[in-house]
Chains A and B, each alone.
Chain A
Protein backbone atom coordinates (compact mmCIF):
# COMPACT_ATOMS: atom_id res chain seq x y z
CA UNK A 1 0.00 0.00 0.00
CA UNK A 2 1.29 3.47 -0.85
CA UNK A 3 2.35 5.38 2.21
CA UNK A 4 5.41 7.32 1.13
CA UNK A 5 5.65 9.53 -1.94
CA UNK A 6 8.96 9.78 -3.71
CA UNK A 7 9.76 13.49 -3.70
CA UNK A 8 11.26 13.29 -7.19
CA UNK A 9 8.15 11.71 -8.63
CA UNK A 10 6.01 14.33 -6.93
CA UNK A 11 8.24 17.13 -8.21
CA UNK A 12 8.09 15.80 -11.76
CA UNK A 13 4.32 15.38 -11.56
CA UNK A 14 3.99 18.95 -10.28
CA UNK A 15 5.96 20.11 -13.31
CA UNK A 16 3.52 18.38 -15.64
CA UNK A 17 5.31 15.07 -16.26
CA UNK A 18 2.46 12.77 -17.35
CA UNK A 19 4.33 9.58 -16.55
CA UNK A 20 5.09 10.74 -13.01
CA UNK A 21 1.45 11.76 -12.63
CA UNK A 22 0.40 8.27 -13.74
CA UNK A 23 2.75 6.72 -11.21
CA UNK A 24 1.12 8.73 -8.45
CA UNK A 25 -2.35 7.77 -9.66
CA UNK A 26 -1.42 4.10 -9.90
CA UNK A 27 -0.14 4.15 -6.33
CA UNK A 28 -2.90 6.20 -4.73
CA UNK A 29 -6.04 5.31 -6.66
CA UNK A 30 -6.57 2.05 -4.75
CA UNK A 31 -5.90 3.82 -1.43
CA UNK A 32 -8.39 6.59 -2.16
CA UNK A 33 -10.95 4.09 -3.44
CA UNK A 34 -10.56 2.12 -0.21
CA UNK A 35 -11.04 5.26 1.89
CA UNK A 36 -14.16 6.22 -0.03
CA UNK A 37 -15.61 2.70 0.21
CA UNK A 38 -15.03 2.27 3.92
CA UNK A 39 -15.61 5.80 5.14
CA UNK A 40 -18.28 6.83 2.66
CA UNK A 41 -20.90 4.42 3.88
CA UNK A 42 -23.69 2.76 1.90
CA UNK A 43 -25.24 5.95 0.53
CA UNK A 44 -22.10 7.31 -1.10
CA UNK A 45 -20.99 6.08 -4.50
CA UNK A 46 -17.37 5.30 -3.65
CA UNK A 47 -16.23 5.28 -7.28
CA UNK A 48 -17.74 8.70 -7.94
CA UNK A 49 -16.21 10.08 -4.75
CA UNK A 50 -12.81 8.59 -5.53
CA UNK A 51 -12.95 10.12 -9.00
CA UNK A 52 -13.65 13.55 -7.52
CA UNK A 53 -10.80 13.20 -5.01
CA UNK A 54 -8.29 12.18 -7.65
CA UNK A 55 -9.37 14.95 -10.00
CA UNK A 56 -8.59 17.47 -7.28
CA UNK A 57 -5.32 15.68 -6.60
CA UNK A 58 -4.20 15.99 -10.20
CA UNK A 59 -5.31 19.60 -10.58
CA UNK A 60 -4.05 20.88 -7.23
CA UNK A 61 -0.94 18.87 -6.48
CA UNK A 62 1.22 21.96 -6.70
CA UNK A 63 -0.21 22.77 -3.24
CA UNK A 64 1.85 19.95 -1.68
CA UNK A 65 5.18 21.45 -0.69
CA UNK A 66 6.56 18.39 1.09
CA UNK A 67 6.28 14.81 -0.15
CA UNK A 68 5.95 13.59 3.43
CA UNK A 69 2.73 15.60 3.70
CA UNK A 70 1.19 14.05 0.59
CA UNK A 71 -0.84 11.33 2.34
CA UNK A 72 -2.22 13.79 4.87
CA UNK A 73 -3.06 16.32 2.14
CA UNK A 74 -4.80 13.67 0.05
CA UNK A 75 -6.75 12.38 3.03
CA UNK A 76 -7.93 15.90 3.74
CA UNK A 77 -9.31 16.13 0.21
CA UNK A 78 -10.95 12.74 0.67
CA UNK A 79 -12.64 13.76 3.92
CA UNK A 80 -14.06 16.90 2.40
CA UNK A 81 -15.21 15.08 -0.72
CA UNK A 82 -16.90 12.33 1.28
CA UNK A 83 -18.63 14.99 3.38
CA UNK A 84 -19.91 16.66 0.19
CA UNK A 85 -21.20 13.37 -1.15
CA UNK A 86 -22.89 12.53 2.13
CA UNK A 87 -24.62 15.93 2.13
CA UNK A 88 -25.69 15.36 -1.44
CA UNK A 89 -27.02 11.91 -0.55
CA UNK A 90 -28.89 13.32 2.47
CA UNK A 91 -30.38 16.04 0.31
CA UNK A 92 -31.52 13.60 -2.35
CA UNK A 93 -33.23 11.45 0.22
CA UNK A 94 -35.53 14.25 1.19
CA UNK A 95 -36.16 16.05 -2.11
CA UNK A 96 -39.05 14.48 -4.03
CA UNK A 97 -37.96 13.29 -7.44
CA UNK A 98 -34.25 13.57 -6.78
CA UNK A 99 -32.27 10.47 -7.73
CA UNK A 100 -31.24 8.17 -4.94
CA UNK A 101 -27.52 8.49 -4.49
CA UNK A 102 -26.71 4.81 -4.62
CA UNK A 103 -24.57 2.77 -7.02
CA UNK A 104 -26.59 2.10 -10.15
CA UNK A 105 -27.73 -1.54 -9.91
CA UNK A 106 -28.38 -1.63 -13.65
CA UNK A 107 -24.62 -1.76 -14.02
CA UNK A 108 -24.87 -5.40 -13.00
CA UNK A 109 -23.56 -7.32 -10.02
CA UNK A 110 -20.00 -6.25 -10.74
CA UNK A 111 -20.94 -2.59 -10.15
CA UNK A 112 -22.28 -3.16 -6.66
CA UNK A 113 -20.10 -3.41 -3.59
CA UNK A 114 -19.00 -6.83 -2.55
CA UNK A 115 -21.16 -6.67 0.51
CA UNK A 116 -21.77 -9.80 2.49
CA UNK A 117 -24.54 -9.78 5.03
CA UNK A 118 -21.94 -9.57 7.77
CA UNK A 119 -20.12 -6.80 5.96
CA UNK A 120 -23.31 -4.79 5.68
CA UNK A 121 -23.99 -5.16 9.39
CA UNK A 122 -20.45 -4.18 10.32
CA UNK A 123 -20.77 -1.16 8.07
CA UNK A 124 -23.97 -0.10 9.84
CA UNK A 125 -22.21 -0.35 13.20
CA UNK A 126 -19.34 1.73 11.86
CA UNK A 127 -21.71 4.31 10.38
CA UNK A 128 -23.30 4.84 13.77
CA UNK A 129 -19.98 6.00 15.25
CA UNK A 130 -18.91 9.64 15.19
CA UNK A 131 -16.94 10.49 12.08
CA UNK A 132 -13.66 11.09 13.94
CA UNK A 133 -13.88 7.65 15.59
CA UNK A 134 -14.83 5.97 12.33
CA UNK A 135 -11.76 7.45 10.65
CA UNK A 136 -9.32 6.44 13.34
CA UNK A 137 -10.63 2.86 13.43
CA UNK A 138 -10.32 2.38 9.68
CA UNK A 139 -6.96 4.10 9.34
CA UNK A 140 -5.28 2.55 12.38
CA UNK A 141 -6.80 -0.92 12.70
CA UNK A 142 -7.81 -1.79 9.17
CA UNK A 143 -5.31 0.05 6.99
CA UNK A 144 -2.54 -0.04 9.63
CA UNK A 145 -1.21 3.48 9.20
CA UNK A 146 1.07 4.43 12.07
CA UNK A 147 -0.16 6.70 14.85
CA UNK A 148 2.11 9.45 13.54
CA UNK A 149 0.77 9.16 10.00
CA UNK A 150 -2.84 9.18 11.19
CA UNK A 151 -2.14 12.18 13.40
CA UNK A 152 -0.84 14.05 10.34
CA UNK A 153 -3.89 13.03 8.29
CA UNK A 154 -6.38 14.06 10.95
CA UNK A 155 -4.34 17.10 11.98
CA UNK A 156 -4.39 16.17 15.64
CA UNK A 157 -1.63 15.22 18.12
CA UNK A 158 -0.50 11.60 18.33
CA UNK A 159 -1.91 11.34 21.85
CA UNK A 160 -5.33 12.31 20.55
CA UNK A 161 -5.17 9.57 17.94
CA UNK A 162 -4.38 7.01 20.62
CA UNK A 163 -7.17 8.08 22.93
CA UNK A 164 -9.68 8.30 20.08
CA UNK A 165 -8.66 4.85 18.92
CA UNK A 166 -9.11 3.39 22.38
CA UNK A 167 -12.54 4.96 22.74
CA UNK A 168 -13.60 4.10 19.20
CA UNK A 169 -12.51 0.50 19.47
CA UNK A 170 -14.45 -0.08 22.69
CA UNK A 171 -17.55 1.66 21.40
CA UNK A 172 -17.38 -0.27 18.12
CA UNK A 173 -17.06 -3.64 19.87
CA UNK A 174 -19.90 -2.86 22.29
CA UNK A 175 -22.16 -1.81 19.46
CA UNK A 176 -21.22 -4.85 17.40
CA UNK A 177 -21.85 -7.24 20.30
CA UNK A 178 -25.22 -5.61 20.93
CA UNK A 179 -26.14 -6.75 17.42
CA UNK A 180 -24.74 -10.22 18.00
CA UNK A 181 -21.59 -9.56 15.99
CA UNK A 182 -18.35 -10.94 17.41
CA UNK A 183 -15.24 -12.41 15.88
CA UNK A 184 -16.69 -15.86 16.66
CA UNK A 185 -19.90 -15.18 14.75
CA UNK A 186 -17.95 -13.48 11.98
CA UNK A 187 -15.54 -16.37 11.60
CA UNK A 188 -17.12 -19.50 13.11
CA UNK A 189 -14.36 -21.69 11.68
CA UNK A 190 -11.58 -19.48 12.92
CA UNK A 191 -9.88 -16.47 11.38
CA UNK A 192 -9.31 -16.75 7.63
Chain B
Protein backbone atom coordinates (compact mmCIF):
# COMPACT_ATOMS: atom_id res chain seq x y z
CA UNK B 1 0.00 0.00 0.00
CA UNK B 2 1.51 3.37 -1.08
CA UNK B 3 2.11 5.95 1.62
CA UNK B 4 3.39 8.60 -0.76
CA UNK B 5 2.03 11.99 0.24
CA UNK B 6 0.32 13.97 -2.51
CA UNK B 7 2.25 16.59 -4.37
CA UNK B 8 -0.43 17.90 -6.65
CA UNK B 9 -3.45 19.98 -5.57
CA UNK B 10 -6.03 17.42 -6.59
CA UNK B 11 -4.49 14.70 -4.45
CA UNK B 12 -4.13 17.11 -1.56
CA UNK B 13 -7.77 18.14 -1.80
CA UNK B 14 -8.89 14.50 -1.99
CA UNK B 15 -6.79 13.62 1.05
CA UNK B 16 -8.33 16.41 3.11
CA UNK B 17 -11.87 15.72 1.92
CA UNK B 18 -11.36 12.11 2.95
CA UNK B 19 -11.36 13.32 6.57
CA UNK B 20 -14.89 14.72 6.33
CA UNK B 21 -17.40 13.24 8.75
CA UNK B 22 -19.19 10.10 7.62
CA UNK B 23 -22.68 8.93 8.52
CA UNK B 24 -22.64 7.38 11.98
CA UNK B 25 -22.99 3.60 12.40
CA UNK B 26 -26.59 2.52 12.07
CA UNK B 27 -27.62 5.73 10.31
CA UNK B 28 -28.87 3.87 7.25
CA UNK B 29 -31.05 1.63 9.38
CA UNK B 30 -32.48 4.53 11.37
CA UNK B 31 -33.30 6.46 8.21
CA UNK B 32 -34.93 3.41 6.65
CA UNK B 33 -36.95 2.73 9.75
CA UNK B 34 -38.16 6.32 9.94
CA UNK B 35 -38.99 6.25 6.25
CA UNK B 36 -41.03 3.06 6.63
CA UNK B 37 -42.98 4.65 9.47
CA UNK B 38 -43.65 7.76 7.39
CA UNK B 39 -44.80 5.74 4.39
CA UNK B 40 -47.09 3.62 6.59
CA UNK B 41 -48.55 6.76 8.13
CA UNK B 42 -49.59 8.30 4.81
CA UNK B 43 -53.41 8.65 4.54
CA UNK B 44 -54.98 5.82 2.51
CA UNK B 45 -56.62 8.19 0.07
CA UNK B 46 -57.36 11.83 -0.49
CA UNK B 47 -60.83 13.23 -0.98
CA UNK B 48 -61.41 15.84 -3.69
CA UNK B 49 -65.11 16.44 -4.45
CA UNK B 50 -65.88 17.20 -8.10
CA UNK B 51 -67.38 20.57 -8.95
CA UNK B 52 -70.80 19.45 -10.16
CA UNK B 53 -72.20 18.35 -6.79
CA UNK B 54 -69.91 20.03 -4.36
CA UNK B 55 -72.22 19.95 -1.36
CA UNK B 56 -73.11 16.25 -1.70
CA UNK B 57 -69.68 14.94 -2.47
CA UNK B 58 -68.10 17.41 -0.09
CA UNK B 59 -70.16 15.87 2.65
CA UNK B 60 -69.40 12.35 1.55
CA UNK B 61 -65.75 13.22 1.25
CA UNK B 62 -65.62 14.65 4.74
CA UNK B 63 -67.36 11.58 6.13
CA UNK B 64 -64.97 9.27 4.27
CA UNK B 65 -61.94 11.17 5.51
CA UNK B 66 -63.22 11.02 9.08
CA UNK B 67 -63.91 7.31 8.76
CA UNK B 68 -60.43 6.72 7.40
CA UNK B 69 -58.87 8.65 10.26
CA UNK B 70 -60.85 6.64 12.83
CA UNK B 71 -59.91 3.39 11.10
CA UNK B 72 -56.27 4.43 11.09
CA UNK B 73 -56.28 5.22 14.79
CA UNK B 74 -58.07 1.99 15.62
CA UNK B 75 -55.60 0.00 13.56
CA UNK B 76 -52.62 1.39 15.45
CA UNK B 77 -50.90 -1.22 17.59
CA UNK B 78 -51.11 -0.82 21.35
CA UNK B 79 -48.46 1.47 22.80
CA UNK B 80 -45.15 -0.13 23.70
CA UNK B 81 -44.56 -1.12 27.29
CA UNK B 82 -41.71 0.69 29.00
CA UNK B 83 -38.32 -0.83 28.23
CA UNK B 84 -37.16 -3.39 30.79
CA UNK B 85 -33.49 -4.36 31.13
CA UNK B 86 -32.45 -7.78 29.85
CA UNK B 87 -29.73 -10.14 31.09
CA UNK B 88 -30.45 -13.67 29.86
CA UNK B 89 -28.03 -16.55 29.28
CA UNK B 90 -28.95 -18.69 26.26
CA UNK B 91 -27.68 -22.19 26.96
CA UNK B 92 -29.18 -25.13 25.08
CA UNK B 93 -26.44 -26.85 23.10
CA UNK B 94 -28.31 -30.13 22.63
CA UNK B 95 -32.01 -29.30 22.12
CA UNK B 96 -34.12 -26.54 20.63
CA UNK B 97 -35.37 -24.11 23.26
CA UNK B 98 -37.77 -21.16 23.06
CA UNK B 99 -37.46 -17.88 24.93
CA UNK B 100 -39.79 -14.84 24.74
CA UNK B 101 -37.87 -11.67 25.56
CA UNK B 102 -41.05 -9.57 25.29
CA UNK B 103 -44.46 -9.68 23.54
CA UNK B 104 -42.66 -8.42 20.41
CA UNK B 105 -39.46 -10.51 20.46
CA UNK B 106 -39.19 -14.29 20.62
CA UNK B 107 -36.19 -16.57 20.22
CA UNK B 108 -35.86 -20.22 19.26
CA UNK B 109 -32.35 -21.60 19.59
CA UNK B 110 -30.04 -24.58 19.83
CA UNK B 111 -26.66 -23.30 20.91
CA UNK B 112 -25.10 -20.78 23.26
CA UNK B 113 -25.22 -17.03 23.61
CA UNK B 114 -26.38 -14.23 25.87
CA UNK B 115 -28.90 -11.37 25.78
CA UNK B 116 -28.25 -7.87 27.13
CA UNK B 117 -29.74 -4.42 26.50
CA UNK B 118 -33.46 -3.94 27.12
CA UNK B 119 -36.79 -5.08 25.67
CA UNK B 120 -36.82 -2.23 23.14
CA UNK B 121 -33.18 -2.67 22.13
CA UNK B 122 -32.09 -6.25 22.80
CA UNK B 123 -28.47 -7.10 22.12
CA UNK B 124 -27.76 -10.77 21.54
CA UNK B 125 -24.19 -12.04 21.53
CA UNK B 126 -24.35 -15.37 19.72
CA UNK B 127 -21.44 -17.79 20.18
CA UNK B 128 -22.34 -21.09 18.55
CA UNK B 129 -25.30 -22.96 17.06
CA UNK B 130 -28.52 -21.82 15.42
CA UNK B 131 -30.78 -19.00 16.58
CA UNK B 132 -34.12 -18.00 15.08
CA UNK B 133 -35.48 -14.57 15.92
CA UNK B 134 -39.01 -13.25 15.41
CA UNK B 135 -39.63 -9.52 15.85
CA UNK B 136 -42.98 -7.80 15.41
CA UNK B 137 -42.42 -5.24 12.64
CA UNK B 138 -42.96 -1.50 13.08
CA UNK B 139 -42.88 -1.60 16.84
CA UNK B 140 -39.71 0.40 17.15
CA UNK B 141 -37.70 -2.65 18.25
CA UNK B 142 -33.99 -2.17 17.60
CA UNK B 143 -32.59 -5.70 17.88
CA UNK B 144 -29.02 -6.68 17.06
CA UNK B 145 -27.49 -10.15 16.91
CA UNK B 146 -23.68 -10.08 16.96
CA UNK B 147 -21.19 -12.87 16.38
CA UNK B 148 -17.45 -12.54 15.99
CA UNK B 149 -17.80 -12.19 12.23
CA UNK B 150 -21.11 -10.47 11.75
CA UNK B 151 -23.64 -8.02 13.04
CA UNK B 152 -27.27 -8.53 12.07
CA UNK B 153 -29.70 -5.70 12.70
CA UNK B 154 -33.43 -6.19 12.56
CA UNK B 155 -35.61 -3.96 10.47
CA UNK B 156 -38.76 -5.81 11.56
CA UNK B 157 -38.68 -9.47 10.64
CA UNK B 158 -37.88 -13.12 11.39
CA UNK B 159 -34.50 -14.62 10.61
CA UNK B 160 -32.02 -17.34 11.57
CA UNK B 161 -28.39 -16.87 12.54
CA UNK B 162 -26.14 -19.91 12.80
CA UNK B 163 -22.47 -19.86 13.67
CA UNK B 164 -19.95 -22.65 13.33
CA UNK B 165 -16.29 -23.01 12.37
CA UNK B 166 -17.13 -22.12 8.79
CA UNK B 167 -18.49 -18.72 9.77
CA UNK B 168 -21.78 -16.98 10.52
CA UNK B 169 -24.74 -17.69 8.26
CA UNK B 170 -27.89 -15.54 8.16
CA UNK B 171 -31.13 -16.63 6.53
CA UNK B 172 -34.13 -14.30 6.44
CA UNK B 173 -37.49 -15.96 6.89
CA UNK B 174 -39.58 -12.86 6.22
CA UNK B 175 -39.20 -9.10 6.41
CA UNK B 176 -35.82 -7.39 6.21
CA UNK B 177 -32.55 -7.45 8.08
CA UNK B 178 -29.33 -5.55 7.70
CA UNK B 179 -26.19 -7.69 7.80
CA UNK B 180 -22.68 -6.36 8.19
CA UNK B 181 -19.75 -8.77 7.84
CA UNK B 182 -16.86 -7.52 9.95
CA UNK B 183 -16.15 -3.89 9.10
CA UNK B 184 -17.66 -4.19 5.62
CA UNK B 185 -20.60 -2.36 4.10
CA UNK B 186 -24.04 -3.39 5.38
CA UNK B 187 -26.28 -5.39 3.10
CA UNK B 188 -30.04 -5.60 3.33
CA UNK B 189 -31.58 -9.05 3.01
CA UNK B 190 -35.22 -9.78 2.26
CA UNK B 191 -37.33 -12.89 2.78
CA UNK B 192 -35.66 -16.01 1.41
CA UNK B 193 -32.22 -14.41 1.08
CA UNK B 194 -29.06 -15.55 2.85
CA UNK B 195 -25.63 -14.17 3.66
CA UNK B 196 -22.51 -15.82 5.06
CA UNK B 197 -19.81 -13.94 6.97
CA UNK B 198 -16.46 -15.67 7.01
CA UNK B 199 -14.15 -15.59 10.02
CA UNK B 200 -11.92 -12.55 10.04
CA UNK B 201 -9.24 -13.56 12.52
CA UNK B 202 -6.31 -15.85 11.73
CA UNK B 203 -7.51 -18.30 14.38
CA UNK B 204 -11.02 -18.23 12.95
CA UNK B 205 -9.69 -18.86 9.46
CA UNK B 206 -7.58 -21.77 10.69
CA UNK B 207 -10.76 -23.19 12.22
CA UNK B 208 -12.59 -22.64 8.94
CA UNK B 209 -9.80 -24.37 6.99
CA UNK B 210 -9.97 -27.40 9.29
CA UNK B 211 -13.75 -27.48 9.11
CA UNK B 212 -13.61 -27.36 5.32
CA UNK B 213 -11.15 -30.24 5.28
CA UNK B 214 -13.33 -32.24 7.63
CA UNK B 215 -16.31 -31.58 5.40
CA UNK B 216 -14.40 -32.89 2.37
CA UNK B 217 -13.94 -29.56 0.61
CA UNK B 218 -11.38 -29.41 -2.17
CA UNK B 219 -7.80 -28.34 -1.39
CA UNK B 220 -8.22 -25.08 -3.32
CA UNK B 221 -11.03 -23.91 -1.01
CA UNK B 222 -9.08 -24.93 2.07
CA UNK B 223 -5.96 -23.21 0.73
CA UNK B 224 -7.92 -19.99 0.24
CA UNK B 225 -8.89 -19.98 3.91
CA UNK B 226 -5.32 -20.77 4.98
CA UNK B 227 -3.85 -17.99 2.86
CA UNK B 228 -6.46 -15.55 4.14
CA UNK B 229 -5.41 -16.51 7.66
CA UNK B 230 -1.73 -16.04 6.85
CA UNK B 231 -2.49 -12.56 5.52
CA UNK B 232 -4.01 -11.69 8.87
CA UNK B 233 -1.06 -12.69 11.01
CA UNK B 234 2.47 -11.51 10.50
CA UNK B 235 3.96 -12.27 13.90
CA UNK B 236 5.60 -15.66 14.36
CA UNK B 237 3.88 -18.08 16.67
CA UNK B 238 2.00 -21.35 16.91
CA UNK B 239 -0.92 -20.05 14.85
CA UNK B 240 1.24 -18.92 11.95
CA UNK B 241 3.26 -22.15 12.10
CA UNK B 242 0.07 -24.20 11.88
CA UNK B 243 -1.12 -22.21 8.86
CA UNK B 244 2.26 -22.50 7.13
CA UNK B 245 2.42 -26.26 7.57
CA UNK B 246 -1.13 -26.59 6.22
CA UNK B 247 -0.18 -24.45 3.25
CA UNK B 248 2.76 -26.69 2.37
CA UNK B 249 0.53 -29.77 2.46
CA UNK B 250 -2.20 -28.12 0.39
CA UNK B 251 0.20 -26.85 -2.25
CA UNK B 252 1.48 -30.40 -2.56
CA UNK B 253 -2.08 -31.72 -2.97
CA UNK B 254 -2.70 -29.21 -5.72
CA UNK B 255 0.41 -30.31 -7.62
CA UNK B 256 2.21 -27.03 -6.94
CA UNK B 257 5.31 -28.90 -5.85
CA UNK B 258 7.80 -26.14 -6.56
CA UNK B 259 5.95 -23.66 -4.34
CA UNK B 260 5.47 -26.29 -1.64
CA UNK B 261 9.18 -27.12 -1.59
CA UNK B 262 10.12 -23.44 -1.49
CA UNK B 263 7.71 -22.90 1.41
CA UNK B 264 9.13 -25.93 3.19
CA UNK B 265 12.67 -24.64 2.77
CA UNK B 266 11.64 -21.26 4.15
CA UNK B 267 9.84 -22.86 7.07
CA UNK B 268 12.75 -25.12 8.00
CA UNK B 269 15.35 -22.35 7.77
CA UNK B 270 14.28 -21.33 11.25
CA UNK B 271 16.10 -23.18 13.99
CA UNK B 272 13.82 -25.43 16.03
CA UNK B 273 10.84 -24.96 13.73
CA UNK B 274 7.95 -26.90 15.27
CA UNK B 275 6.55 -29.91 13.37
CA UNK B 276 9.74 -29.95 11.33
CA UNK B 277 9.67 -33.75 10.98
CA UNK B 278 6.30 -33.50 9.21
CA UNK B 279 7.59 -30.82 6.89
CA UNK B 280 10.72 -32.86 6.09
CA UNK B 281 8.51 -35.84 5.24
CA UNK B 282 6.27 -33.78 2.97
CA UNK B 283 9.26 -32.17 1.27
CA UNK B 284 11.01 -35.49 0.73
CA UNK B 285 7.88 -37.01 -0.84
CA UNK B 286 7.32 -33.99 -3.05
CA UNK B 287 10.95 -33.89 -4.15
CA UNK B 288 10.87 -37.61 -4.97
CA UNK B 289 7.72 -37.17 -7.02
CA UNK B 290 8.99 -34.04 -8.70
CA UNK B 291 12.66 -34.53 -9.37
CA UNK B 292 13.43 -38.11 -8.49
CA UNK B 293 16.28 -39.39 -6.30
CA UNK B 294 18.73 -36.65 -7.16
CA UNK B 295 16.40 -33.87 -6.07
CA UNK B 296 15.15 -35.79 -3.04
CA UNK B 297 18.58 -36.82 -1.73
CA UNK B 298 19.21 -33.85 0.59
CA UNK B 299 15.64 -34.04 1.97
CA UNK B 300 15.89 -37.77 2.58
CA UNK B 301 19.22 -37.35 4.33
CA UNK B 302 17.86 -34.61 6.59
CA UNK B 303 14.75 -36.65 7.33
CA UNK B 304 16.69 -39.75 8.35
CA UNK B 305 19.02 -37.68 10.53
CA UNK B 306 16.12 -35.95 12.32
CA UNK B 307 15.94 -36.84 16.03
CA UNK B 308 12.21 -37.63 15.69
CA UNK B 309 12.62 -39.86 12.61
CA UNK B 310 10.66 -43.09 12.62
CA UNK B 311 11.45 -46.44 11.01
CA UNK B 312 9.06 -45.64 8.17
CA UNK B 313 11.14 -42.57 7.31
CA UNK B 314 14.16 -44.75 6.64
CA UNK B 315 12.11 -46.71 4.14
CA UNK B 316 11.08 -43.58 2.26
CA UNK B 317 13.07 -43.29 -0.91
CA UNK B 318 14.64 -46.73 -0.36
CA UNK B 319 14.75 -47.15 -4.15
CA UNK B 320 17.24 -44.30 -4.25
CA UNK B 321 19.90 -46.25 -2.32
CA UNK B 322 22.21 -47.46 -5.11
CA UNK B 323 24.43 -50.51 -4.98
CA UNK B 324 27.32 -50.10 -2.61
Contact = CB atoms under 8 A, between A and B. Distances in A.
Interface of A: 19, 22, 25-26, 29-30, 33-34, 37-38, 46-47, 50-51, 54-55, 58-59, 110-116, 118-120, 122-123, 125-126, 137-138, 141-142, 169-170, 172-173, 176, 181-184, 186-187, 189-191
B34 interface: yes
B31 A142 contact: no
A142 B20 CA distance: 9
B28 A190 contact: no
Nearest to A176: B16
Given A37-B23, A111-B24, A191-B3, A141 B13 contact: yes
Nearest to B2: A191
B5 A190 contact: yes
B19 interface: yes
Interface centre among B2, B5, B9, B176 (most CB of A within 10 A): B5
A118 B190 CA distance: 38
Given A33-B27, A111-B24, A55 B39 contact: yes
A186 to B, nearest CB: 6
Q: Top 6 A-B pairs ranked by shortest CB distance?
A: A190-B3, A183-B15, A113-B21, A142-B17, A115-B21, A119-B19
Contacts of A170: 9
Given A47-B30, A183-B15, 9 more contacts: A22-B188, A33-B28, A47-B31, A110-B24, A114-B23, A114-B25, A116-B19, A122-B16, A173-B12
A142 B12 contact: no
B28 A29 contact: yes
A137 B9 contact: no
Nearest to A183: B15
A114 B24 contact: yes
Interface centre among A111, A126, A189, A191 (most CB of B within 10 A): A191
Given A29-B28, A187-B5, A190-B5, A141 B21 contact: no
Given A169-B9, A173-B13, A51 B3 contact: no
Nearest to A27: B188
A169 B10 contact: yes
A50 B31 contact: yes
A183 B9 contact: no
Contacts of B17: 122, 126, 137-138, 141-142
B32 A182 contact: no
B21 A126 contact: no
A185 B11 CA distance: 14
Nearest to A168: B13
Interface of B: 2-6, 9-28, 30-32, 34-35, 38-39, 42, 176, 185, 188, 190
B28 A30 contact: yes
Given A46-B23, A126-B20, A169 B13 contact: yes
A55 B38 contact: yes
A137 B13 contact: yes
A58 B36 CA distance: 11
Given A25-B32, A191-B5, A186 B19 contact: yes
B5 A120 contact: no
28 contacts: A19-B190, A29-B28, A34-B22, A34-B23, A38-B21, A47-B23, A47-B31, A50-B27, A58-B35, A58-B39, A114-B22, A114-B25, A118-B19, A119-B19, A122-B16, A125-B16, A126-B20, A138-B20, A141-B10, A141-B13, A141-B14, A142-B18, A142-B20, A169-B13, A181-B16, A182-B16, A190-B3, A191-B15
B25 A110 contact: yes
A115 B3 CA distance: 23
Contacts of A22: 176, 188, 190
Interface centre among B20, B30, B32, B190 (most CB of A within 10 A): B20
Interface centre among B3, B31, B176, B190 (most CB of A within 10 A): B31
A47 B24 CA distance: 9
A116 B20 CA distance: 8
Nearest to A120: B21
Contacts of B185: 30
A182 B9 CA distance: 10
A37 B28 CA distance: 12
Nearest to A182: B12
Given A173-B13, A183-B5, A183-B16, A29 B21 contact: no
Contacts of A182: 12, 16
Contacts of B9: 169-170, 173
Contacts of B22: 34, 37, 113-114
